[in-house]
Structure 1
Amino acid sequence: MKRLLTALTVTLGLTLPAAADPSFWGYEWPKTNFDKTTVENWAQILSGGPPKDGIPAIDDPQFMPQGEDTALEPRESVITVALDGQPARAYPLRYLMWHEIVNDRIGDTPVAVTYCPLCNSAIVFDRRIAEGELSFGVSGKLRHSDMVMYDRETESWWQQALGTAIVGDLTGRELTQLPVWMESWSAFRAAHPDGVVMAEPNFPRAYGQNPYRSYDTSHRPFLYSGENPPHGIAPLMRVVRVGDAAWTFDRLREEGQVTENGVTISWEDEQASALDTAAIGQGRAVGAIRVRDGQGRDVAHDVMFAFAFHAFWPDGRWMVK
């Protein structure tokens, strides 16, 4: 783990983490209302190293027909967003790895496509709340190793894994999670011949390279000091979270399909782990799953690491045999 922390520090230009303290962070966040928060222990929030917007969110993503992109490797992971009446869109992890948030608009729906590499959490939110439409940036802060986003309108802080504001004027507000999924680039192309793919952003980044090499086979998560999951589940085991319930990939791989708790989870494909080898498209095979309800409709879910599920849903249900 020490070797991994050193590698991340060098690759991403991280500094030593510092615990969040409103009297300190106020200089960087003068618009944030630190008097409103659901955070009981400020020591849970750490600086991941980069400052506010040091990891730049993408605000004007460009797209191309999926048949025109030749840079992606067949097994690379993409986040698939297929809204009714709109061509399916693929957001490659090779770009989200370096930007973590894409503010986009699909038809009339403003969306935030988010990915936290340290939790493997890929969630797409509707950016509208009762107070209006929001846009999001990367705060540079982590809580339980999960990205803390911020909205540019009020500079409230939002927990990516929860889709909930945890600090600021909008504390307690919740974003609507959309039913999307991760799959291989080849699977997306086969399923969506009319689909489009996000084009490479105009930033000097090593797209296609994994700055977190060997992360998902390490023994401990980065900047995480919480409890390990129960039932002997490895902290960096991938789990499917639906609401407050989680299924391990080990079980899903073995059984192929599970129908429980009102959903059917099916093992559909293999894709390359984006957090394994240096080249994102060359990582070891990890599963791609779909979650559907009784009518066959896709259900909002998250594929995250087990430690993150345990941290944010300490009373959650582990769907073990």
Structure 2
Amino acid sequence: MKFAGPLRAALCVALALMPVHAPAQNPFHGKAWPKTDFTAFLVDPLEFEPGGPNKDGIPAIDFPRMHPAAEEHSLDPREPVISVKIEGQLTRGYPLRYLLWHEVVNDTVGHTDIAVTYSVLVDSAVVYDRRDAEGNAMVFGVSGLLRFSNSVLFDRGTESWWQQTTGRAIVGSHAGERLTPLPARVESWDVFRLHHPDGLVMMRPEWERAYGTTPFVGYDSAPVPARYAGPLPPKGIAPLERVLRVGSHAWQLSRLMSEGRITEAGLVLTWTPGMASTHDAADIARARDIGMVRVRDAVGRDLPHDVIFAFCFAAFWPDGRWMLGGCGAAGLPC
């Protein structure tokens, strides 16, 4: 546990770097959440905890400035970018160097309203259609609350609370609704600009942040996750090992890295090197290589997926299937 001291210090620095405008709010105080319907809870209220910054202390980005990939010169070739392709529109890239400090980007691509989301403590990057069940576009902010280390978002219309990694509303008038995840993938800037030379990339937000660096130095090598008291992964899987989640199935990234290609459960999973971690070195461009994945169905269509820390899958998909390989006599899922 000798790593615990430096890790705790790094997390304190991370929280100090994020803006806090007031003392920690009571998560259920009416002055903080005047629109939230607190009669509609789908989870145990004791599972919520303050993440440090208060409501909107981590500022979401609404309708970001974009420019052609050919005009972008500040990104390192290995930096991770969330790549989003909406039919009939130019592919858009959202660098994690920005999402790491803002967690949500509300954007409109053609006629599609999207929310590009990233929860730093679980390394979850998911893009959602941000319309509600009635087809109305919502605009999301960051609540400042965590549940099992995962960010809790809120919509500005009803201030319902939404779990970032699942897209499910868990408190408020939208409770029970789910956002629709869209096919997207995290890939290196080098790969993005190679495959989408006519694509658009998000420009630097007009905030004073240490973009290109991470305060979570060494976090993905830590023995235990921060601010987490939920279930742990089975079969000796390290809590902070990355897993590829597709629906309620999870594959260890280490397995996919070793095999390069896995065909299971009607899916084709591939891994290629060349993308940096956002939880390793202070300068993301110098971080270790964790590579990038692609998930397609049997006919080659890209599918929604997420690469997250194993403890996150254990917490939010307790009945999920761990695709560990070695089928048959070992009784493991295939």
Taking structure 1 as the reference length, the TM-score comes to 0.95
8 Å Cα contact 2:41/2:175 also seen in 1: yes
- Equivalent residue, structure 2, for 1:174: 178
Partners of 1:124 and 1:184 in 2: CA distance? 17
- Equivalent residue, structure 2, for 1:109: 112
- Equivalent residue, structure 2, for 1:255: 259
Q: CA deviation at 1:222?
A: 1.4
Q: CA deviation at 1:43?
A: 1.9
- Equivalent residue, structure 2, for 1:91: 94
* Residues 193-204 of structure 1 mapped to structure 2, 5 A cutoff: 193-204=197-208
Closer, same or farther: CA 19–58 of 1 in aligned 2, 3 Å: closer
What is the aligned length?
Answer: 317
* Residues 42-53 of structure 1 mapped to structure 2, 5 A cutoff: 42-53=45-56
Partners of 1:18 and 1:220 in 2: CA distance? 25
8 Å Cα contact 1:244/1:317 also seen in 2: yes
Aligned partner of 1:4: which letter? L
Q: CA deviation at 1:270?
A: 2.4
* Structure 2 residue 308 is the aligned partner of structure 1 residue 304: yes
* Residues 1-321 of structure 1 mapped to structure 2, 5 A cutoff: 1-13=4-16, 22=28, 25-39=29-43, 41-131=44-134, 132-321=136-325
Q: CA deviation at 1:231?
A: 1.2
Partners of 1:298 and 1:120 in 2: CA distance? 20
Q: CA deviation at 1:211?
A: 1.3
Q: CA deviation at 1:248?
A: 0.5
* Residue segments in structure 1 that go unaligned for 5+ positions in a row: none
Report the identity percentage: 53
Q: CA deviation at 1:64?
A: 1.0
SS at match of 2:295: strand
RMSD: 1.6
Q: CA deviation at 1:269?
A: 3.3
SS at match of 1:197: strand
8 Å Cα contact 1:21/1:42 also seen in 2: no
Taking structure 2 as the reference length, the TM-score comes to 0.92
Partners of 2:52 and 2:63 in 1: CA distance? 25
Q: CA deviation at 1:21?
A: 5.8
8 Å Cα contact 2:129/2:182 also seen in 1: yes
SS at match of 2:127: strand
Partners of 1:126 and 1:155 in 2: CA distance? 18
Partners of 1:260 and 1:106 in 2: CA distance? 33
Q: CA deviation at 1:20?
A: 6.5
Partners of 1:8 and 1:18 in 2: CA distance? 17
Aligned partner of 1:201: which letter? P
Closer, same or farther: CA 266–20 of 1 in aligned 2, 3 Å: farther
Partners of 1:221 and 1:86 in 2: CA distance? 39
* Residue segments in structure 2 that go unaligned for 5+ positions in a row: 326-334
Q: CA deviation at 1:18?
A: 7.7
Q: CA deviation at 1:221?
A: 1.1
8 Å Cα contact 1:111/1:127 also seen in 2: yes
Partners of 1:83 and 1:60 in 2: CA distance? 16
Q: CA deviation at 1:30?
A: 1.8
Aligned partner of 1:194: which letter? D
Aligned partner of 1:72: which letter? L
Q: CA deviation at 1:11?
A: 3.2
Q: CA deviation at 1:28?
A: 1.1
1:112-139 deviations in whole A, cap 9, x for unaligned? 0000110100000001122311110000
